[in-house]
């Protein structure tokens, strides 16, 4: 079946994503000059965004990968590591690269746990920010796009595991 099936509308095109990534990458290059940040890809949703963003950055940096689950619960502070970092972030400048900031409970808990490892700083870079849905006290430091309260898929984002390989961000033809 065609991978576009079920997409009602394209919200953000491939060209818009690429242009915004260039802008944020050059901002990060300025803000992190001389800091060699550890850029952390939060799997699976941010895999494409992460790869494109770090490729546009010109400064020296490190990459690492993490996978967490909220166990279906919405209790802030409760996450389980499915895959932890391989690097020690103590004293390092950390950039958490996320696909979408929704209720914020995942990033709130993740940021809190990583801060216990005593990094020099932790900041959040998110592809999408759905501010209307925020519960947890977490804000993004670098946002590519703000989106309304619609369910988005594509460019890493999934619905039941599908649609991650769309090159654009769209919404499905139904409301959850």
Residues between 136 and 175 with contacts to ligand IMP, criterion CB under 6 A: 151-153, 157
| Residue 129: active-site member | no
The nearest distance, CB 160 to Mg ion, in angstroms, is 10
How many residues are present in the chain?
176
Query: Which class for 47: exposed (0-12), middle (13-18), buried (19 or more C-beta within 10 A)?
Result: middle
Of 45, 76, 154, 170, the one binding ligand IMP by CB under 6 A: 45
Of 101, 110, 125, 144, the one binding ligand IMP by CB under 6 A: 101
CA 49 to each of CA 29, 90, 173: distance values in angstroms, whole numbers, following the listed order: 17, 25, 24
Q: Rounded distance, CA 66 to CA 130, Å?
A: 22
Phi/psi at 138 (5° precision)? -135, 140
Of the pair 24, 150, the CB lying nearest ligand IMP is at 150
Binding-residue total with ligand IMP (CB under 6 A): 13
Residues between 30 and 69 with contacts to Mg ion, criterion CB under 5 A: 45
Q: Which residues are catalytic?
A: 102
């Amino acid at each position: 079946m065609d991978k576009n099936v079920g997409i009602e509308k394209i919200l953000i095109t491939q060209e818009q994503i690429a242009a915004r990534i260039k802008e944020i990458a050059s901002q990060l290059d300025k803000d992190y000059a001389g800091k060699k940040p550890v850029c952390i890809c939060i799997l699976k949703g941010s895999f494409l965004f992460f790869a494109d963003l770090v490729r546009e950055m010109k400064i020296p940096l490190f990459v690492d990968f993490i996978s967490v689950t909220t166990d279906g619960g919405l209790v802030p502070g409760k996450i389980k590591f499915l895959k932890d970092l391989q690097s020690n972030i103590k004293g390092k400048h950390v950039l958490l690269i996320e696909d979408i900031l929704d209720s914020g409970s995942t990033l709130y808990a993740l940021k809190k746990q990583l801060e216990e490892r005593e990094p020099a700083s932790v900041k959040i870079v998110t592809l999408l920010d759905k501010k209307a849905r925020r519960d947890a006290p977490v804000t993004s430091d670098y946002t590519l796009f703000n989106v309304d309260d619609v369910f988005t898929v594509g460019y890493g984002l999934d619905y039941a595991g599908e649609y991650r390989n769309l090159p654009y961000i769209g919404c499905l033809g139904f409301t959850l």
